Amino acid sequence: MAVHSDLPRRLLPVLAELLEGKSNREIATNLSLTEHTVEKYVSNLLTIFECRSRGHLIAVASQKVGRTGEVSG
C-alpha cells in the first residue's frame, strides 16, 4: 500500500490490518503495539478519512484502495 499524502506511515500497517477485519487486540499483537496505541491510531484514521465509525472507515478505506494497493485521495 503506498502512502496517501495525508496518511502517516505509522498508520499504514494499522489500516491494512483493519481492512483484514482484525480487532484492536489482534492488531496490537501483530504489530507489537499496545491496544491503547492501536485505539489512538484508529481514532487518527477515523479523523483522516472523515468517518464516524470503524465500519464506515473500513468501507471508505476499502473504496480508496486501488488495484495496485495504493490509497487514493
Tens digits of residue pLDDT in 27-54:
999 999 999 999 999 999 999 999 999 9
Listed range (19-28, 37-46, 48-57, 62-71) with the worst mean pLDDT: 62-71
CA gap 13, 64 in Å, rounded = 16
May I ask the CATH class of domain 9-64? mainly alpha
Q: Where are the domains of the chain?
A: 9-64
Q: Indicate yes or no: pTM above 0.75.
A: yes
- Note every long-range contact of 5-13, with CB atoms under 8 Å and residues 24 or more positions apart, other chains counting: 5/73, 6/48, 6/73, 7/48, 7/71, 8/44, 10/41, 11/41, 11/44, 11/45, 11/48
